[in-house]
Amino acid sequence: MKKAIYLFILVFCYLPLQVSASSTHSNSYSNVNSPDVVIKHVYKEANLKGVIDFQVFKEGYNAYYNTKGRKKQLLTIIDYSKPSTEKRFFVIDLKRNKLVYHTYVSHGVNSGGREATRFSNIVNSRQTSLGTFLTDTTYYGGNGYSLRLDGMTHGVNDNARRRYIVVHGADYATESFIQRHGYLGRSWGCPALPKGLSRQIIDTIKGGSVIYAHA
């Protein structure tokens, strides 16, 4: 009898610990987990240390969490504080806590040369926009297979549709272009990706995932 009571107490005390431990693996905020706990957990599990600056990832994760209408557990971060010669486009699967793409991305021709220093929301500025975007549908245009974006940050990128800011592939967004010219080619404000990767990345992030552009 004493043994049965002991087992009951052991199981009763252990169950709450299991629930608490499992809750830290959920990529959403709760009364138990503070935002910082969740963000640090995802950052660690996805092995992002030394790949993405933690503060940039934190801003991106908060943008993801606060974006209404998102349909996918994917977060794309573009870190324009890095020069175009570095891989600064990151796609993170928040369901599996895994970095799935890490590649080059262009900035606007009027945003700067090797580094982007000027940003705009103005039509025809040919500058890059910062802030939070939500991906939409795909289409074939002048730059081939492309992905429409909606700017979600008021006054910062909400003219994305009017400016035709889309994700697309480009020959000038490749490592070979950097080797020839010493910098990545520039767009008219679109985040252009290497052509060899652009289609598969677009197909991964299309249809309601969050992009966060930082500088």
Residue with tokens 């520039």, as numbered in its chain: 186
123-175 pLDDT per residue, tens: 999 999 999 999 999 999 999 999 999 999 999 999 999 999 999 999 999 99
* Domain boundaries, given as residue ranges, for the chain: 37-214
Report how far residue 128's alpha carbon sits from residue 188's, in angstroms, rounded to the nearest whole number.
8
Cβ–Cβ < 8 Å for 135, 205: yes
User: Can you name the CATH fold of 37-214?
Assistant: L,D-transpeptidase catalytic domain-like (2.40.440)
Give just the sign of the alpha carbon dihedral 39, 44, 48, 52. positive
The predicted-structure confidence for 33-67, as pLDDT tens digits, reads as follows 678 899 999 999 999 999 999 999 999 999 999 99
Strand partners, 132: 212
Q: Is the pTM of this model over 0.95?
A: no
Distance separating alpha carbons of residues 21 and 213, to the nearest angstrom: 33
